[in-house]
């Protein structure tokens, strides 16, 4: 059973690689961003609350995110493994995920970190904004999200590095090449 995370700055290709990894390994992809966007589109109370933060480029508060992830990881389809995309982003969320997994009697196996240059990330995200019309992808918001990533999420990466389960993969280049690098890195940790 594979239980893993994919972490990287906004625009590093996490979603694309998560889909490919899950297809290859036969595990469930769980993206907090997709869940938030679906709730925003549906106008749910969670969506209304999440939208306030997302439109400013801020992270949705841990209390909302943790509740959502705990509920999702309790569903039957994750029994054979999962890949979390977009969670955890803070040390408090790491602690919450540790508790969720300990309660289930399982452990996290691998954390894949996708790396990429900030200027390339801004370029990618601005291009995506034009294609999809995402209101949360302006240059100012993108740069703010990159700053938040460095301030908060890199501490998370350090925690997983200490546990010896973090693998860094260059997220730049052809999608197939990145996927090949990711799969090679995962195999080395198995």
The annotated binding site is made up of 11-16, 32, 37, 58-60, 86-89, 93, 128, 134, 145, 173
14 assigned to active site = yes
Nearest CA-CA partner of 3 in 16, 22, 31 = 22
Query: Of the residues 123, 134, 159, 168, which is catalytic?
Result: 134
Nearest CA-CA partner of 78 in 14, 29, 115 = 29
Query: Of the residues 72, 89, 124, 181, which is catalytic?
Result: 89
Query: Of the residues 14, 51, 72, 181, which is catalytic?
Result: 14
* Upper half-sphere CA count for residue 69 (Cβ side, 13 Å): 30
Binding residues for ATP are 11-16, 128, 173
134 assigned to active site = yes
51 assigned to active site = no
Range list of β-strands (E), the chain: 2-7, 28-31, 81-85, 110-115, 166-170
Provide Rg for the chain, Cα atoms. Answer: 16
168 assigned to active site = no
Query: Of the residues 20, 72, 124, 145, which is catalytic?
Result: 145
Binding residues for AMP are 32, 37, 58-60, 86-89, 93, 134, 145
**Active-site residue list:** 14, 89, 128, 134, 145
């Amino acid at each position: 059973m594979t239980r893993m995370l994919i972490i990287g700055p906004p625009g590093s290709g996490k979603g694309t690689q998560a889909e490919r990894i899950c297809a290859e390994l036969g595990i469930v992809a769980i993206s907090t961003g997709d869940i938030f966007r679906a709730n925003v589109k549906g106008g749910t109370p969670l969506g209304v609350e999440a939208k306030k933060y997302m439109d400013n480029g801020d992270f949705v508060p841990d209390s909302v995110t943790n509740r959502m992830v705990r509920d999702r990881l309790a569903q039957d389809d994750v029994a054979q493994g999962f890949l979390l995309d977009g969670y955890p982003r803070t040390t408090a969320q790491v602690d919450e995920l540790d508790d969720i997994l300990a309660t289930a009697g399982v452990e996290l196996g691998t954390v894949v970190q996708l790396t990429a240059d900030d200027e390339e990330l801004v370029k990618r995200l601005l291009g995506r904004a034009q294609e999809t019309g995402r209101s949360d992808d302006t240059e100012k918001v993108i740069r703010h999200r990159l700053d938040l990533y460095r301030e908060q999420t890199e501490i998370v990466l350090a925690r997983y590095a200490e546990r010896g389960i973090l693998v860094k993969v260059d997220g730049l280049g052809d999608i197939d090449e990145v996927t090949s690098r990711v799969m090679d890195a995962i195999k080395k940790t198995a």
